[in-house]
């Protein structure tokens, strides 16, 4: 490039720097720029407002989902159940809240609260899991009582022959000729007296279970209602969770121990 050309370019640069009109044009505020130019690359996403109907529908669906989840948990996982009465003294006290599991064995009745006892018992049932063990504490139902829950202890399994004598339980298991006496250390000796503690022998049909309350003198159980079907057992009592001062595990199975 020649010296003349360099000089010309230098002169033009100096003129541009000294021209106030050009400097002002270069510093035009954004607010004075054309609107289309300001919006370029700065588009903001506007939040679409829901209508009142959409808001109501959203709340209804949320509540419905919560109800369905709660029902599934109560039917197939666990639920709290309140003790009503004294038939399980001294193991369980009236008014205590029990933690009842469903995942190990249960039976879910597909009925509605407003149905009659007859309709509830005629409803379909989903029975799942294993089978109760001897001396498990369970939540069960009785024929003719709809979906009313009772808390009892399983003492007889299908095929057993059982009897009560002097307040003590004697069992001859299925296929055995030997009769075994069970001490049942959870039974208060005061509850072993009276006519109710003389019963049997009775052989339990296949598919049925014999249940009794721990307060043998104050319990409406299989001695009067007869053995119950497997699908009448709806939960397994594991713990007392309320009152908090009474929080404890409930002795179950053959490993029951005195408190």
Q: Which residues, in sequence order, are CB contacts of 189 under 8 Å at separation 6+? A: 167
Which tokens sit at 16? 């541009």
- DSSP sequence for 135-188: T-EEEE--TTSTT--EEEEEEE-TT-EEEEETTEEEEE-TT---EEEE--TTS-
Find out whether 212 and 85 touch, Cβ atoms under 8 Å: no
Looking at residue 258, its pLDDT comes to: 37
Tell me whether strands 168-172 and 78-82 are parallel, antiparallel or unpaired. Answer: unpaired
CB 151 within 8 A of CB 207: no
The CA distance from 60 to 68, in Å, is 12
Residue in the structure block whose two tokens are 């339990």: 204
| Domain ranges (residues) in the chain | 79-255
Helix, coil or strand: residue 125: strand
Q: Which of 75, 87, 107, 219 is catalytic?
A: 87
Give per-residue pLDDT as tens, 126-183: 998 899 999 999 999 999 888 899 999 999 999 999 999 999 999 999 989 899 999 8
Q: From CA 31, how far away is CA 238, in angstroms rounded? A: 73
Q: Which residue has the tokens 């919560």?
A: 66
Top-level class of domain 79-255: mainly beta
Concerning whether 152 is annotated as a catalytic residue, the answer is: yes
DSSP 8-state symbol, 202: E
For CA atoms 182, 187, 188, 193, the dihedral sign is negative
- 199 close to 217: Cβ distance less than 8 angstroms: no
CA distances from 81 to 148, 186, 225, 235, 250 (A): 12, 21, 22, 10, 14
Q: pLDDT per residue over 70-98, tens digit each?
A: 888 888 888 999 999 999 999 999 999 99
Catalytic residue selected from 152, 208, 219, 222: 152
pLDDT digits over 179-209, tens only?
A: 999 988 889 999 998 888 999 899 999 999 9
Q: What are phi and psi of 236, to 5 degrees?
A: -120, 120
pTM: 0.76
């Amino acid at each position: 490039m020649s010296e003349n050309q360099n000089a010309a370019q230098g002169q033009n640069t100096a003129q541009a720097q000294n021209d106030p009109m050009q400097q002002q044009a270069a510093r035009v505020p954004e607010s004075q720029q054309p609107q289309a130019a300001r919006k370029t690359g700065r588009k903001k996403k506007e939040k679409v407002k829901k209508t009142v109907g959409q808001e109501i529908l959203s709340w209804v669906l949320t509540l419905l989902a919560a109800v369905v989840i709660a029902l599934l948990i109560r039917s197939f996982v666990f639920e709290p159940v309140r003790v009503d009465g004294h038939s399980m003294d001294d193991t369980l006290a009236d008014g205590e809240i029990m933690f009842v599991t469903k995942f190990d064995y249960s039976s879910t009745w597909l009925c509605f609260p407003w149905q009659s006892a007859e309709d509830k018992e005629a409803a379909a049932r989903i029975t799942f899991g294993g089978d109760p063990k001897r001396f498990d504490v369970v939540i069960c139902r009785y024929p003719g009582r709809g979906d009313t829950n009772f808390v009892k202890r399983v003492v007889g399994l299908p095929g057993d022959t059982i009897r009560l004598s002097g307040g003590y339980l004697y069992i001859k298991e299925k296929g055995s000729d030997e009769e075994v006496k069970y001490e049942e250390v959870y039974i208060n000796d005061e509850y072993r007296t009276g006519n109710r503690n003389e019963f049997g022998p009775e052989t339990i049909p296949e598919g049925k279970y014999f249940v009794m309350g721990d307060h043998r003198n104050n319990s409406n159980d299989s001695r009067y209602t007869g053995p119950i079907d497997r699908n009448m057992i709806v939960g397994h009592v594991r713990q007392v969770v309320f009152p908090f001062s009474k929080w404890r595990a409930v002795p179950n199975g053959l490993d029951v121990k005195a408190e």
